[in-house]
Amino acid sequence: MILRDHVVDYFPYNIIVELVPRNRYWGLHPPPAPLEDVVDDGLMTIQRASFLRKAGVETIVDNDHFLNPPNRADLLESAIKNISRALNRVEDMERLASSTNWCVVEELEHMLEESGHLRTLAFLYASKGMSSKAVAIWRILARNYSSSLRKDPALETIIQDSGENLISGKAIAAAEASKILEESSDQDLILQHLGWIADISQLLAVEVLTSDKREIQLSPDEVITSIDPQKVEILQRYLQWLIEDQDCFDTQLHTLYALSLAKSAIEAFEFENISENLASGNTERTSLATLRNSIFQMPVRERLQIFLQSSDLYDPEEVLDLIEGSELWLEKAILYRRLGQETLVLQILALKLEDSEAAEQYCAEIGRADAYMQLLDMYLDPHDGKDPMFTAAVRLLHNHGESLDPLQVLEKLSPDMPLQLASETLLRMFRARVHHHRQGQIVHNLSRAVDIDARLSRLDERSRNVQINDESLCDSCNARLGTKLFAMYPDDTVVCYKCYRRQGESVSVSGRNFKEDILIKPGWLVSR
């Protein structure tokens, strides 16, 4: 009684009456039992019921538990999932569903669908390897969810890298679906969901197609056919990945990639011209905005030029037919060079682009003196009503005048060309021409002198006299020579004809091989 009064003093009834659950009894409730103990008690009840059923005693346990008895891990995971769902602990449910777990999908999917926790159900499907159902749910979420969806910091980085600063529920759903498809080898599933992912983020679609996480790669023909024709950059990035990363040598794919780049380059060039005409001061800003919205960091014309120069497997005539009527002159020069049209290449470099350095470099690659003369003729007579390009002509004479014929140059020079522009260059060219001529004469005369000395030394060697007497011996067999035939080697050794036949004409008695170890006497050297 004393204890009761003491408790009432500290905990007045009128204060705690609303806090205490209304039970039919008054007293302290026991603390909650650990979840593991609850599960163990349930398993014990199922086991006890199985023994009772064998004994003929009816139990309240469901028959499904006897046919497919659950294990402890399944019951724990399902209990945690149910508690989290009841408490609306969304983050805990998603964290559990996305990790390795032993949840029974059949027991949870209906409850999660009814409660609207589709994200949790999608994570659960993905963790169980049910990719088709998981991606289907993410597609539904991408279509219905708003931008108020909870943001994932890891996914936020991925989407920002693609240039999409606005993080929305659609973008998060597409990113989660793409992570599943990157590891999947089910081509039909990937191509089925590629479209809506590409509508949200083209970069995510490219990552799905070019993923190296899957065991079996996709069929290029099927992928190319399924890509939306409006999503040109996805097609180009996929073809670039096939050619550069997968070392694809299919000529059709190389040609398709070149044609796609060429078409995009024409459209970009026309768009820049229109923008320049509308607002001449905002041209650079427009090009930067276009590049920012692209999944590529390099402009399309630069990518086209690099590919046309690096690949040998595309059809240049087919690409040339596409850009023939455009203003892509540098690309035309690359293609004409592939086809061996040297004159057209020089005309484009010298007259259309007015790139003297590139034109001279191409003449050096051709390697013929008439190429420089042809280039000079283009500078002096450009046709199409253009004025002569005297500055470029003087530059050519200054850099490569030694390779030109002065008489032909004088014949090509126009009477209208100011003499003071080319006088110093022409004088230098004439001096160099005379210098080369005289230098050639000197080299010719020196070579002639060496030849005469060699002939004289050979004649002296052949006209040498050797005196043989009765006491002379063969240096090989030591036999007396007498009136026998003999031979003498360049090192002055004398052998009989029999030993000469055995030794040969290249190897003397001393073992020296005159073909490998050439003998040079002081008298044979040129003394002039």
379 and 453 co-located in one domain = yes
Residue for token pair 């050297």:
525
374 and 459 co-located in one domain = yes
Which class for 149: exposed (0-12), middle (13-18), buried (19 or more C-beta within 10 A)? Answer: middle
What pLDDT, on a 0 to 100 scale, did the predictor assign at position 292? 54
Which class for 453: exposed (0-12), middle (13-18), buried (19 or more C-beta within 10 A)? Answer: middle
What pLDDT, on a 0 to 100 scale, did the predictor assign at position 181? 96
Query: Which residue in 514, 482, 513 sits closest to 496, CA to CA?
Result: 482
Query: Which residue in 88, 90, 125, 89 sits closest to 108, CA to CA?
Result: 125
Sign of CA dihedral 310, 316, 319, 321: positive
What pLDDT, on a 0 to 100 scale, did the predictor assign at position 158? 46
What pLDDT, on a 0 to 100 scale, did the predictor assign at position 504? 86
Q: What torsion, rounded to 10 degrees, do the Cα atoms 284, 287, 288, 289 define?
A: 120
Residue 83 lies in a domain: no
Which class for 315: exposed (0-12), middle (13-18), buried (19 or more C-beta within 10 A)? Answer: middle
Query: Which residue in 449, 460, 444, 447 sits closest to 524, CA to CA?
Result: 460
**Assigned token pair, 392:** 């470029």
449 and 495 co-located in one domain = no
Query: Which residue in 102, 99, 144 sits closest to 120, CA to CA?
Result: 99
Q: What CA–CA distance (Å, rounded) separates 445 from 435?
A: 15
* CB neighbours of residue 101 within 10 Å: 19
For the chain, the helix, strand and coil percentages under 3-state DSSP, each to the nearest 5: 65, 0, 35
420 and 453 co-located in one domain = yes
Q: Which residues of 386-410 are buried (b: 16+ CB within 10 A; e: fewer)?
A: eebbbebbbbbbeebbebbeeeebe
427 and 469 co-located in one domain = no
What pLDDT, on a 0 to 100 scale, did the predictor assign at position 322? 96
For 496, the enclosing helix (H) or strand (E) is strand 494-496
| Global confidence as pTM | 0.65
Q: What torsion, rounded to 10 degrees, do the Cα atoms 244, 247, 253, 256 define?
A: 20
**Assigned token pair, 488:** 């003498």
* CB neighbours of residue 204 within 10 Å: 24
Q: How high is the mean pLDDT in each 10-residue block of the chain (528 residues)?
A: 42 55 55 62 72 68 63 62 61 79 76 81 90 94 62 48 55 94 95 94 95 93 95 96 95 96 94 75 52 80 96 96 94 95 95 93 90 90 84 84 76 71 69 80 91 83 78 88 84 87 85 76 54
What pLDDT, on a 0 to 100 scale, did the predictor assign at position 437? 81
SS3 call for 196: helix
What pLDDT, on a 0 to 100 scale, did the predictor assign at position 147? 40
Residues 6+ apart with CB under 8 A from 191: 218, 222, 223, 226
Q: Are 490 and 457 in contact (CB under 8 A)?
A: no
The total number of structural domains in the chain stands at 3
Residue 360 lies in a domain: yes
**Assigned token pair, 25:** 């009894």
What pLDDT, on a 0 to 100 scale, did the predictor assign at position 374? 92
Amino acid found at 332: K
374 and 458 co-located in one domain = yes
495 and 446 co-located in one domain = no
Q: Are 236 and 227 in contact (CB under 8 A)?
A: no
Residue 132 lies in a domain: no
Q: Residues 255-297: pLDDT tens digits? A: 999 999 999 999 999 988 887 777 654 555 555 555 556 888 8
**Assigned token pair, 26:** 């008054």
Q: What torsion, rounded to 10 degrees, do the Cα atoms 480, 484, 488, 489 define?
A: -80
Residue 337 lies in a domain: no
367 and 424 co-located in one domain = yes
Domain boundary among 434, 463, 492: 463
473 and 496 co-located in one domain = yes
Amino acid found at 431: R
501 and 458 co-located in one domain = no
Q: What torsion, rounded to 10 degrees, do the Cα atoms 65, 66, 67, 71 define?
A: 60
16 and 58 co-located in one domain = yes
Residue 343 lies in a domain: no
Q: Which residue range forms the structural domain that includes residue 27?
A: 2-67
Residue 52 lies in a domain: yes
What pLDDT, on a 0 to 100 scale, did the predictor assign at position 227? 95
Domain boundary among 463, 488, 508: 463
437 and 468 co-located in one domain = no
Domain boundary among 29, 45, 67: 67
Sign of CA dihedral 231, 234, 236, 239: negative
What pLDDT, on a 0 to 100 scale, did the predictor assign at position 166? 38
Residue 338 lies in a domain: no
* CB neighbours of residue 8 within 10 Å: 10
What pLDDT, on a 0 to 100 scale, did the predictor assign at position 505? 83
Residue 55 lies in a domain: yes
